[in-house]
Structure 1
Amino acid sequence: MTSSTAAAARDPPTRAARIITEVLTPVVPVLLICVLCGVHGAPRPWAGLGWGLLAGVFCAVIPFAVIEAGVRRRGFSDRQVSRREERRGAYAIGIGSVLCGAAALVLLGAPALLTWALATMVVGLLVCAAVTAAGIKASLHMFCATALGVFAALLVSPWWLLVLPVLLPVIAWSRLHLRQHTRAEVVLGAVLGAAVTVLGWLFVPAGG
């Protein structure tokens, strides 16, 4: 690391951007989506919480752990998988883990709403993978945060949409400040997150 790079990493805006990026990493909204759908899809909230946490293991914990191990073995440049050419492998890990989770939940009799959420996640990952393969590195930070806001609005209250105009600019600033995405990529991430979730809602199971 050069002296100029080290100095940039120590300045307050860059430190703030790194903290935001780490705290609001896609793992967090994905885990919250799983818990939200588990609680709202099960007859008893505590049982739904258990289902949601189980789904979160497959959708958030396992992919994060595999990517973290890849970083240590230098298979990935960093835990955010900043390099576009590395994201194909990261998407494959995510899709495979979520599919395994969905299969396990179906076999165990999990709430239909939760399995629908996992199916929506797979579609979202496939869409982002296709866009990335086309040369545009859509922001997963923006995608997942937007999806969480839309999930909350659909399942709890439309008022949750008011969180997005506050949260998304903060995330977008952090990703732009760290030069991990272009403006088009952060906007595209948010648009895809909203579109996939809303369109997926058309296929939510009856009674979900």
Structure 2
Amino acid sequence: MTTTTAPGAETSFAKQVTDVLEPRTWILAVTLLMGWYADRFAGIGWGLVAGFFCGVVPILWIKWGERRGHWGDRHVRRRQDRLVVIPGIIVSVIVCISGMLVLDAPEEMTALIFAMLATLVAILAITTVWKISVHTAVSSGAVVMLALAYGPWTLSAFALVVLVGWSRVRLRDHTLAQVLAGAALGAAVAGPVFAAMS
């Protein structure tokens, strides 16, 4: 009798990819990298502020709801729950934008956060009827904005976006159409908004 552990190992790897390359990871990376691009070490400070409001506060909000049983886990798998989670994240992002405008942050940083806000609003609108992938939307948007700042070589990071999409489908959290739509949305919204404002 032959046995195989491949399916279980594959699922375990997919879970690791989903957990490690979650939206928070991409947000923290892109805010710090864009901060460095905008104003070197001073820009890193702006990146930390942006990362706090756009990456850390949202995960604290999600964990708060998770502990109280409002939604299952930090990936918020049920579409209806996302209709509560995403507006809360939008509020934090708006607070971040307001602070950056008042304190005269580098234009690349404000452009980055406006692009994030536009993407979130688009995701929320679609989520009212369909569970589009936030994982691939955020990762794709981050790669495109970094390419606009650092150059086309960063588009090689789309390999990671593909990996993220595979993990979401493998875990049955999304269909192939949902991860592809998420990737397309992230690139189509975040890229042009960032380019127009930076």
- TM-score surpassing 0.5? yes
Q: Give the Cα separation in 2 of the matches to 1:126 and 1:116.
A: 15
Select the residue among 131, 136, 148 that pairs with 1:137.
131
Hey, what does 2:15 align to over in structure 1?
Answer: 18
Q: State the 1:71 CA deviation.
A: 0.4
Q: Give the Cα separation in 2 of the matches to 1:141 and 1:199.
A: 19
Q: State the 1:202 CA deviation.
A: 4.1
TM-score under structure 1 length normalisation? 0.88
Listed as ranges, the gaps of 5+ residues in structure 2 are none
Q: Give the Cα separation in 2 of the matches to 1:138 and 1:168.
A: 15
Q: Give the Cα separation in 2 of the matches to 1:13 and 1:188.
A: 24
Hey, what does 1:176 align to over in structure 2?
Answer: 169
Hey, what does 1:167 align to over in structure 2?
Answer: 160
Question: Counterpart of 1:203 in 2: which secondary structure?
Answer: helix
Runs of 4 or more off by more than 6 Å in structure 1?
none
| Identity between Structure 1 and Structure 2 (%) | 35
Q: Give the Cα separation in 2 of the matches to 1:189 and 1:96.
A: 21
AA aligned to 1:114 is: M
**Superposition RMSD in Å:** 1.5
Hey, what does 1:4 align to over in structure 2?
Answer: none
AA aligned to 2:192 is: L
Instruction: Please tell me whether the aligned partners of residues 54 and 93 of structure 2 are also in contact (alpha carbons under 8 angstroms).
Output: yes
1:164-207 alpha-carbon deviations (Å, 9 max, x no partner): 1x2122111110111100111000000001101222134224xx
Q: How many residues align?
A: 193
TM-score under structure 2 length normalisation? 0.93
Q: Does 1:91 align with 2:86?
A: yes
Select the residue among 6, 28, 32 that pairs with 1:31.
28
Listed as ranges, the gaps of 5+ residues in structure 1 are 1-7
Instruction: Please tell me whether the aligned partners of residues 148 and 195 of structure 2 are also in contact (alpha carbons under 8 angstroms).
Output: no
